[in-house]
Amino acid sequence: MSLISSYAGDSASPQMQDASSSAEQAQKHVVIMGAGPAGLTAAYELVVHQQVGVTVLEKDPCYVGGISRTVEHDGYRFDIGGHRFFSKSTEIENLWTEIMGKDLLVRPRLSRIVYKGKYFDYPLKAANALFGLGPIETIRCISSYIKARLAPTRNPRNLEEWVTNQFGKRLFQIFFKTYTEKVWGISTTELSADWAAQRIKGLSLSSAIKNALLPNKKTKKGGEVIKTLIDEFRYPRRGPGELWERTASIIGKHGYPVKMGKEIVSIQHDGKQVTGVISCDTKGNTMMEHGSHYISTLPMRELVYAFDPPLPAHIRQAADKLKYRDFLTVALIVDRAEMFPDNWIYLHDPDIVAGRIQNFKNWSPDMVPDASKTCLGLEYFCFEGDGLWTSSDEDLVKLGGKDLLKLKMCKPEEILGGFVVRQPKAYPVYNDEYKTHVRTIRDYLEAHAPNLQLVGRNGMHHYNNQDHSMMSALCAARNIAVNANLDPWSVNTDAEYHEGTRDVEDLSGRLVPQRAK
């Protein structure tokens, strides 16, 4: 018996249960706001595996996939950031395989940090990090680490204090501070310690040295070494957007095409539940969508302000205090067949404006139309409306070229051109008070709009990776389809998930009942 079937109870015959279930499913219809990974995963699960109808509304007139879409320009395809496909959830892995089949490639992983012209392994390796800095700096780093261990900050309140406790002040300043502040646009003293603990769980200088000297690779029965997620990952042949384009196509073939170019302008409610959603198309036409249930992947701040009648002042004030970091990619075409072996490189030098550089050809050779050329994505973190965000595409391409030349990766005449993609609200900001505001909003919505569930990174204002967003969506979908009583907020997002080994056990098994066979 599957876990889902256990929800049906034993009071009726199988035939009566099937008939009752079919009738109940026919009465359900789910309005899903957003066609990113979370929204499309929920739609796929509901339509394909649970036979529940959906209406998916997507603001973008062209692309599905949200921040996981793949943009194409002159035949060159590139991510909005790089998206590795790996998960400790075997169900998520199987879902990717179910949709993509043989078009999901296995790719080698290499990522490094550039600091003062030197390359350092990432994830950090003790010997490489310390000795690559030179003997004098190495002594300073070790001394700083010893000092931190002898006199740590008790009850660290922010990211800077937490990481310094783990690595010492010197290594924190070299390998964490500059890049982190590029990404978030605020001081590391303003980012929460609990978020740092989540993202860097179990990692310290002592553990890095131990692992370097005494590597401990897990093995399967029979002695075969299990590949770590550091070694390789899966990736769609034509970029992550291909997965979501295919998912949308499958949903459409079942009779529920994604409605593109539909911006949410109003969420109607009566104080007890959501009663409808009004969207507006690119021509200014509005339409009301009704459902029995609703799923939102909208940024939480936007969601709160979409409610009509307006939500209470203290809920809107909590939403106002939620911050977001925006993001833009400058894709440059370089007249070189090979540039560097990495999938991506972190740029830690303060005089380089870009925070990270992607080599899309090394993610998949099918990302470029011409094997003699390379497409690089320089990533810039900014706030919507600031100087970077409002710069012209021409100026941003020039800035990308300057950064590339500072890195000594090519000659000026080899840069053939470029293009820019802007991504608003790419990262919810995790300052020291965000959890309080999220909790305030969440508690109110659960009490006054119980037929609405929030999923995904922006929907939950939580740093979900793609697989975590998908797991939260599966929880929501199964809550609707089979009254599963699952908690999307309890999906695990610790750092072991990011860089550990792929366990045989499905960690989502505790959370997500398997679909009916």
Segments of 137-261 assigned E as strands: 232-236
Rounded Cα gap, residues 45 and 480, in angstroms: 11
pLDDT band at 24 (very low <50, low <70, confident <90, very high): low
In angstroms, the first-to-last Cα distance of the chain is: 9
pLDDT tens digit sequence for 269-298:
999 999 999 999 999 999 999 999 999 999
Per-chain mean pLDDT for the chain: 86
Q: What is the pLDDT of residue 226?
A: 37
Question: Quick one: what percent of the chain has pLDDT higher than 90?
Answer: 72
**β pairing state of 104-108 and 232-236:** antiparallel
**β pairing state of 324-334 and 415-428:** antiparallel
pTM for the full model? 0.87
The contacts of residue 235 (CB under 8 Å, 6+ apart) are 83, 84, 85, 104, 105, 107, 363, 364
The contacts of residue 379 (CB under 8 Å, 6+ apart) are 81, 327, 328, 329, 330, 354, 355, 356, 357, 358
Segments of 429-504 assigned E as strands: 452-454
- The domains located in the chain, with CATH, are 5-64+258-322+431-510 (3.50.50.60), 68-122+230-236+324-428 (3.90.660.20), 124-213 (no CATH)
Q: What is the pLDDT of residue 23?
A: 59
Residue ranges of alpha helices (H) inside 3-89 are 14-27, 37-44
Q: What is the pLDDT of residue 500?
A: 44
Q: What is the pLDDT of residue 267?
A: 98
**Which has more pLDDT, 200 or 264?**
264
User: Which of 29-33, 103-107, 137-141, 437-441 is predicted least confidently?
Assistant: 137-141
Q: What is the pLDDT of residue 15?
A: 43
Say yes or no to pLDDT of 225 above 90.
Answer: no
User: Which of 119-133, 205-219, 329-343 is predicted least confidently?
Assistant: 205-219
Question: Quick one: what percent of the chain has pLDDT higher than 70?
Answer: 83
Q: Are 461 and 322 in contact (CB under 8 A)?
A: yes
Whether the link from the prior residue into 123 is cis, omega within 30° of 0, is yes
Q: What is the pLDDT of residue 192?
A: 85
Say yes or no to pLDDT of 307 above 70.
Answer: yes
pLDDT tens digit sequence for 232-273:
899 999 999 999 999 999 999 999 999 999 999 999 999 999
Rounded Cα gap, residues 93 and 234, in angstroms: 9
Q: Are 259 and 249 in contact (CB under 8 A)?
A: no
Q: What is the pLDDT of residue 132?
A: 87
Q: CB under 8 Å, gap of 24 or more: what pairs does 396-400 form?
A: 396/328, 396/330, 396/420, 397/330, 397/332, 399/330, 399/353, 400/330, 400/332, 400/354
Say yes or no to pLDDT of 345 above 60.
Answer: yes
| Amino acid making up residue 415 | I
**β pairing state of 374-382 and 324-334:** antiparallel
DSSP annotation of 288 reads E
Q: Is 177 helix (H, G, I), strand (E, B) or coil?
A: helix
In this prediction, residues 401-407 reach a mean pLDDT of 96
Rounded Cα gap, residues 45 and 131, in angstroms: 50
Q: What is the pLDDT of residue 73?
A: 94
Q: What is the pLDDT of residue 130?
A: 77
Q: What is the pLDDT of residue 193?
A: 83
Say yes or no to pLDDT of 376 above 90.
Answer: yes
**Which has more pLDDT, 204 or 74?**
74
User: Which of 5-19, 323-337, 376-390 is predicted least confidently?
Assistant: 5-19
User: Which of 67-81, 151-165, 500-514 is predicted least confidently?
Assistant: 500-514
Residue 279's φ and ψ, nearest 5 degrees, are -120, 160
pLDDT tens digit sequence for 490-517:
886 544 444 444 433 343 444 445 454 3
